[in-house]
Amino acid sequence: MPEIRGIRPAGNGPQPGNGFVVEMEGISKEFPGTKALDGVSFRLRPGEIHALIGENGAGKSTLIKILGGIYRADQGRIRINGQAVDIRDPQTARRLGIGVVFQEFNLIPELSVVENLFLSLEKTRAGLFLRRREMIRAAAAVLEKVGLDIDPTRKVSAFSVAEQQLMEIAKAILTEARILILDEPTAVLAAPEVANLFRIMREFKAQGRALAFVSHRLDEVLEISDQVTVLKDGANAGSLPNENVSRNDLIRLMVGQEFKDIFFQGEKKTAGGVLLRVSNLWVGDKIRDVSFNVRAGEIVALGGLEGHGQQTVLEALFGLHRHRGQVELEGRPVRLSSPREALKQGIMMVTDDRKGEGLALDLSVLHNLGLLNHGRFTGWGGVINSSREKALAGGVIDRLGIKTPSLGQQVKFLSGGNQQKILVGRITYLPRVRLLLFKELTRGVDVGAKIEIYNQLHDMVKDLAAEARIGILFYSSDMLEILGLSDRIVGLYDGRVTAVLENKGLSEEKLMSEIIQGAGKAGGGTGAAGEAAPAG
Amino acid sequence: MVSLTARLSGRGRLARVLSDRDWSSILIIYALLIGVVLLAGVVSPGFLTLQHLMDMTKQATPLIMATLGQAVVMLMGNVSLDLSIESVIVLTNVVCTTLFTRAGVDPFWLMMILMAMAVTIGLINGLGVTVFKIEPFIMTLGMMTILRGAALIVSGGTPGGKVPADLVALVKTRLLGVLPLVTVLWIILAGFIFLALTRTSFGRKVYLTGNNHRLAFLSGISPNLVKIMAYVICSTLAMGAGLELTGYIGTGSVIIGGGFSFMSITAAVIGGISFSGGIGNMLGPVGGALIMTVLMSLLTAVNIPQAGRFILQGVVILLFVTIYSLKDRESA
Amino acid sequence: MASSTHPITFRERVSRHLDILILFLILLALIIVASLLSDRFLSRLNIENLLVQSVGVGIAAFALCGVILTGGIDLSIGLNITVGNCIASHLFVQSLPLSLPLVLLTCTSAGLVNGLGITRLRLNPFIMTFGMMLILQGAALFLRPEPGGEIPVGFNSFLMGNLGPIPRPFLLLLVCFALSWVILKKTRLGTHIYAIGNNERSASLSGINIGRVKLFAYSFCGFLGGVGALFYSAQTLSGDPNLGLPITLDAITAVALGGVPLIGGRGGAVGVLFGIFIVTIISNILNLANVNTFYQYVIKGTILLVAVAATSRR
């Protein structure tokens, strides 16, 4: 496969008149009910890493889907290497040298890696019969380039999410993509995997290929990109080279607000007594002897590297995993054997997988809001009191500012941020809320909605501060979020608690090092207490 | 900003119970029903008399009951359906006639036994689908075969016998001389199920389970329990249909209710129930069942040979579903 | 940080073939049970009988295999075979060389129509093939209101004879098996079929032409239906409009037993072959043991459910 060496502008293909390999101008796209893009322009140079940022609903996803051939623009022109093109379907995009890696991978889990890499691109004899050995060889070669030393005949499902993402990139390389588009590539990666990804991205760049990526993680954007384009409400809000740009600058372009406004500087609330006490929690062999507390009126974060057990601990507290150890709520031991049990105890989990397990997409807003506790608006025999139900729902909608044309609107038509609000709004229906569990607090949510959610949290805690009864436990892959919101941080490493810190004067680096160093101390003490799993 | 609730309370109450899609599909179905009835009136004189129309509603009773049950199961999503209902119908008939004629069982106890039987069958179906994770198609297919064998065993291969007089009389009864009692029965039944699904907590659980099994679980519902109940409801309704048919025929039969499994599925689909679950309501399937009954009757009246009837049924079904599918895509 | 080498685990290797292994064991168990039940089982006559028995359902099962793998279904396959059979019962006596291809063509077209309805009109496969089933039943009744007609004896003796010790129809089944296996495992069509059955959306976004692949699957299904029609014609020497639905149900059973879930994406021709044998042997056992037909229904149904429950992936 020919590789272009040298720096831009690479002498490959028809020389673009003005040095751009991708030019999108005046792109507009409408969906029923929303105008996703309105006259947007986007230009990509060869040998450039270009970040595309903006709030959810700003249109970034739509823009790259148009480039990838999933959607067709209603208006506007696209030029690749100076030539006007009509990207009518993904195959056309591929032929033009555009490779897209979406957030939801397009890999077929039951098929092998090599079959996936060559899907619809198979090498065949007489156009029909597979040349397996050739494909396996080629697959191994390209996998090596992205740093995957694996057996390509294995099923994709045997590999981790990060590895699968690399496979998607390998696939793009295989199609000789000169233009690589990544949609939220780091959303599912842990730090070392992100570093690997960046290495590959830089190699691409060195080869003279053009790279565009969409991200919510502004730190990463600042670290790796050469150029940043900001979209806001479906229109351009600015495009600037990444020189002396700060996170605040970006946020201001995206949202129009200063960053420090985002996190409320807590009036130090006096925490109440111990609300949740977790003692010697074991979940399989993934969570080992975890103990920590959450006090009433407190926000505790489960911190550490992503994938080190934070999610499992949270889910176990919602009754989703069989566990050993003791959990006490307000001093009394509780058996959290199922979500139903957890809800009865006043423990509520807010998921990050909105569309998958958070919402019933075809059902209405009304339906989705009240589903945790029909008892709030039903009477004898489970019959629904219609006016009460609507009043309750209306109240939640007003208070949280959920934008919907009606209560009967199917939830799938709402924007991401509003959908998230529904998840949070459900809390009001529970008769008794003691502990709120947030999975990945604001993943994939734009800055604007994040702010609203933080404010809601703040209000919720403040409202109940007088009674100081609610506790909040969350985990997040956004360090700054953890630092900005929590009162205390419980650091997990490899399924063990390695640090418990008050959130005072901490920086990202300090926090991380405490957690990881704590692991060193704990790891050295294997064979100490907590190694033997408690019986029962 | 004017409070949303204030703005929303303006619209009709029923309007928000059903979605737009539901309403438009109901409109189509009933419009078509009227059309078909009128067509029948043109083709076959005497069709449009009150007496005959009432007869039609009576004739549609078993199919409507079966379709209602089928629709509830289909709401469970993931291509849920119940193929065993036609065997339940046969079994009901055979058990009823055999126990009554040969064992002289009292009608009351007969009812109890039949109820127990229906519930058990529904439980087995439900358990197979939820706990043993057998696909509904296969599970109910297996059940259908088993029950057919059971029916043959119970009847010893020679159906016949008598049916409790009360049952026959019930089926024959007409209120005010013209309105069949069984028609009133299915109207009440359909209405009850409709209301239960749209206005009760249970109904909400049904739709939620069909739409998003995982979410239902995370919300403290037991989606498996809901599914099992759906199958129990379906079997019970099938048993009811079997009873009605038995009272109508007045004797034992092994071909009773033939084709009901597929017909009820068709009627439900015509009525707007989606295989993916969580979408649709009960008014549509009732209309679908009525349409099919009228069509069948029409074809018999016009004396079209069996071959023609099959072809016509197939064409009608495909036509209907195509129109639906195109409409759905338009609005998407 | 490059990903460390993952050596393929023993567990993975085993699970790849586990399904087939289980089926093989079940088959073995059945054979043992059968030979214990009746000393006639292992007789040459019975074995030949068995092999021929398996052909009818078997060809239908292979027809369905591809379609079910894409996540669809064809309820009309039994009727497809019936129509082919009825056509043959009219035309074979007149001109075999002309009418044989006609039968194949008709059946393939019926499959094609199914495919068109499902891909162009976006109809649910269940509904589309169900409607087709009714239409085909009507067509069969139109062609042959009563069983009858005539199949040239020469055709029968050709197709139903033995090649050495092996009955010819069984060879026909093996050909169908080989064809299916090659298509599924050795061609890009096969890869695409699995991809679609596994995750249609991803497959589409990866550039697979879903419509074309499905059209092929349904057409091929119809084609094999035509082949099945030839077999039934040779076997029964007449046209029977009532063959219909039981063939479909048995074929679906064989496919499901063979490890292909109704949602598709998993399983293959080898498993289906085992499924066919299992279904056939069970019938054979029940007959040998002189089980009352009524009880046969119950037993067959129960076995289906138990087997599927055991092999379905949790």
* Residues A176-223: tens digit of each pLDDT: 888 999 988 887 777 788 888 899 899 888 988 899 999 877 788 888
Q: Between A and B, how many residue pairs show a Cβ–Cβ distance under 8 A?
A: 96
Is residue B226 scored above 60 in pLDDT?
Answer: yes
> Can you give the pLDDT at residue B18?
56
By CA distance, what is A393's nearest residue in B?
B5
Query: What type of residue sits at position A501?
Result: L
- The interface pTM score, or ipTM, of the predicted complex is 0.83
- Please name the residue ranges forming H helices in chain C: 10-37, 44-69, 77-91, 96-119, 125-143, 153-160, 168-186, 188-198, 200-205, 210-236, 244-257, 269-288, 293-311
By CA distance, what is A145's nearest residue in C?
C2
Q: CATH for A22-97+178-255?
A: 3.40.50.300
Chains that touch A (3 or more CB pairs under 8 A): B, C
How far apart CA C62 and CA A3 sit, in angstroms, is 46
Are the Cβ atoms of C124 and B269 closer than 8 angstroms? yes
> Can you give the pLDDT at residue C101?
93
Residue numbers in B near A351 (CB within 8 A) = 218
> Can you give the pLDDT at residue B320?
77
* Cβ–Cβ under 8 Å, residues C149 and C239: yes
Is residue A265 scored above 80 in pLDDT?
Answer: no
pLDDT tens figures, B243-296 = 999 998 888 887 888 888 888 988 888 888 877 777 788 899 999 999 989 888
Least confident of B52-56, B214-218, C268-272: B52-56
pLDDT tens figures, A346-375 = 899 988 777 788 899 888 899 999 898 888
Residue numbers in B near C262 (CB within 8 A) = 79, 135, 137-138
Question: Which of A111, A157, A160, A203 to probe the C interface (max C CBs under 10 A)?
Answer: A111
| Residue A471 or B65, more confident | B65
Write down the residue that tokens 């998921």 correspond to: A351
> Can you give the pLDDT at residue B204?
92
Nearest to A214 by CA among A123, A102, A79: A102
Are the Cβ atoms of A408 and B16 closer than 8 angstroms? yes
Which of B143, B145, B310 is closest, CB to CB, to C138? Answer: B310
Q: How confident is the model at residue A446 (pLDDT cuts 50, 70, 90)?
A: low
* Position B28 in a domain: no
> Can you give the pLDDT at residue B146?
93
Is residue B17 scored above 60 in pLDDT?
Answer: no
State mean pLDDT over A100-119: 88
Nearest to A489 by CA among A467, A465, A513, A468: A513
Is residue A262 scored above 70 in pLDDT?
Answer: no
Q: How many CB atoms lie within 10 A of CB A333?
A: 10
The residues of chain A that CATH labels 3.40.50.300 are 22-97+178-255, 262-346+432-536
By CA distance, what is A93's nearest residue in C?
C207
Are the Cβ atoms of B135 and C312 closer than 8 angstroms? yes
Nearest to A376 by CA among A360, A359, A354, A393: A393
The three-state secondary structure class of C214 is helix
> Can you give the pLDDT at residue C3?
37
Give the best-scoring range by mean pLDDT among A386-400, B65-79, B292-306.
Answer: B65-79
Are the Cβ atoms of A382 and B218 closer than 8 angstroms? no
Query: What type of residue sits at position C254?
Result: A
Q: Does domain A262-346+432-536 have CATH number 3.40.50.300?
A: yes
> Can you give the pLDDT at residue B2?
41
Give how far B264 is from chain A: nearest CA, Å.
24
Which of C124, C137, C304 is closest, CB to CB, to B310? Answer: C137
Give how far B68 is from chain C: nearest CA, Å.
18
- The number of folded domains in chain B is 1
Are the Cβ atoms of B128 and C309 closer than 8 angstroms? yes
Are the Cβ atoms of A340 and B222 closer than 8 angstroms? yes
Q: How confident is the model at residue A448 (pLDDT cuts 50, 70, 90)?
A: low
Is residue A465 scored above 60 in pLDDT?
Answer: no
* Position B110 in a domain: yes
Chain A touched by B5 (CB under 8 Å) = yes
Is residue A419 scored above 80 in pLDDT?
Answer: yes
- Number of Cα atoms under 13 Å in the Cβ half of residue A247: 11
The three-state secondary structure class of A33 is coil
How far apart CA A204 and CA A194 sit, in angstroms, is 15
If 0-12 CB within 10 Å is exposed, 13-18 middle and 19+ buried, where does residue B108 land?
exposed
Q: How many CB atoms lie within 10 A of CB A332?
A: 8
Percent of chain A with pLDDT over 70: 82
Query: What type of residue sits at position A131?
Result: R
Is residue A487 scored above 60 in pLDDT?
Answer: yes
The three-state secondary structure class of A72 is coil
Least confident of A405-414, A464-473, C56-65, C168-177: A464-473
* Position B12 in a domain: no
How far apart CA A200 and CA B100 sit, in angstroms, is 80
* Position B190 in a domain: yes
* Arithmetic mean of pLDDT over chain A: 80
Give how far C163 is from chain B: nearest CA, Å.
37
Domains observed in chain C: 44-311 (1.10.3470)
Nearest to A47 by CA among A212, A242, A213: A212
Strand partners for C145 = none
**Which residues of chain C have a pLDDT value below 70?**
1-13, 16, 310-314
Residue numbers in B near A356 (CB within 8 A) = 214
Chains that touch B (3 or more CB pairs under 8 A): A, C
If 0-12 CB within 10 Å is exposed, 13-18 middle and 19+ buried, where does residue A252 land?
middle
* Cβ–Cβ under 8 Å, residues B53 and B174: no
How far apart CA A390 and CA B123 sit, in angstroms, is 36
* Position B1 in a domain: no
Give how far A355 is from chain C: nearest CA, Å.
16
Give how far A59 is from chain B: nearest CA, Å.
20
> Can you give the pLDDT at residue A8?
32
Question: Which of B13, B192, B212 to probe the A interface (max A CBs under 10 A)?
Answer: B212
Contacts of A278 (CB under 8 A, 6+ apart): A290, A291, A292, A293, A313, A317, A325, A326, A327
> Can you give the pLDDT at residue C179?
95
Interface list for C 138-157 with B (CB within 8 A): 138-142, 145
How far apart CA B11 and CA B5 sit, in angstroms, is 11
* Position B16 in a domain: no
Chain A touched by C290 (CB under 8 Å) = no
Q: Give, in order, the Cα–Cα distances in Å from C249 to each of A212, B277, C144, C260, C301.
A: 53, 24, 22, 15, 11
Range of the domain at B166: 57-301+308-331
Which of C3, C5, C194 is closest, CB to CB, to A111? Answer: C194
Chain A touched by B221 (CB under 8 Å) = yes
Enumerate chain A positions whose Cβ falls within 8 A of a Cβ in C. Answer: 70, 90-91, 94, 102, 105-111, 115, 119-122, 124, 128-130, 147-151, 154-155, 158-159, 162-163, 166, 192-193, 195-196
Q: Give, in order, the Cα–Cα distances in Å from B85 to each of B73, B137, C168.
A: 11, 12, 40
* Cβ–Cβ under 8 Å, residues C194 and C47: no
